[in-house]
Structure 1
């Protein structure tokens, strides 16, 4: 993957992590990337409250938040049809990247899972991926979030479709999140 620059100066980012040190580190990294509108929340409840009242273009949250953990935070945001950040891209951070945590992050509606510790380059590449590969948003019984499939298209003609009910696919993420479309590659 070629590394391109990203224009993050108009993007509103919410960092949800209970560690003051990590919040400070993320602020520094995001500011170095050009982000100017970054806020922090120290708990899942605080992040959920902010998500209900402030529009955010990107949520970066730790899975181990006190109170409401990161998985539940994402699931609550995604499930709330009135939350202005329902379609906002989410990066879930975990210090425990075992497959069960990755599956939980995927199933709660996160766009990306990133294992701690990570390099600024790893974060930058994930941000770049979000801008280059916007996946359609799916609203289905038991799941709300970005399409978990990486290959689009119909099932092979020799196989029947495995979904019994047609999933309601929300319009493309760019149409839902005009501000996030500003996260264009320069």
Structure 2
């Protein structure tokens, strides 16, 4: 855990209908030093909080009642009624298969965290969000953080051949 981040200055919103799962996230954030942590059970409650308070990072479960985490993310990124299209969203799920990760990425997820997780894994995602934020892209069919992560050092005419 290299980066030194003062989590006490960052406000978090946990969106998770499962009391135990939400408590694990809450306890982990508190362990990391966070003191501004709110919990809600539904996306509608999350929208209410996001409209009325300053939240820096959302940690959201994929499976939610009424509207799942992906639908919540889609509204956050693409709706004209979104309280904050640019807010970092870390998606939690027990479904870490490639197709789920790809679906979440294509809807504008900031980070993806498979359950069960430990404090180091959540910390790593938080450092990525805070210390290495990605610029947002709007292509008409996608709005969200830049999905490209790999840094390529070579900038010549055959740069793409390095991807193979």
Distance in 2 separating the partners of 1:48 and 1:140: 25
CA contact (8 A) 2:60 2:92 kept: yes
Classify the secondary structure of the residue corresponding to 2:30. Answer: helix
TM-score scaled by length of structure 2: 0.86
Distance in 1 separating the partners of 2:156 and 2:51: 41
Question: Which structure would you say has the larger RCO, counting Cα contacts within 8 Å and 6 or more residues apart?
Answer: 1
Classify the secondary structure of the residue corresponding to 1:9. Answer: helix
Distance in 1 separating the partners of 2:156 and 2:81: 37
1:70 aligns with 2:69: yes
Q: Give unmatched runs, 5+ long, in structure 1.
A: 160-186
State the superposition RMSD in angstroms.
2.3
Q: Give unmatched runs, 5+ long, in structure 2.
A: 160-164
Q: How does 1:81-100 map to 2 (within 5 A)?
A: 81=80, 83-100=82-99
Q: Where is the helix percentage greater, Structure 1 or Structure 2? A: 2
CA contact (8 A) 1:14 1:58 kept: yes
TM-score scaled by length of structure 1: 0.77
**Structure 1 residue runs of 4 or more that deviate by more than 2 Å after TM superposition:** 2-5, 48-55, 80-85, 155-159
Q: Paired residues, what number? A: 159
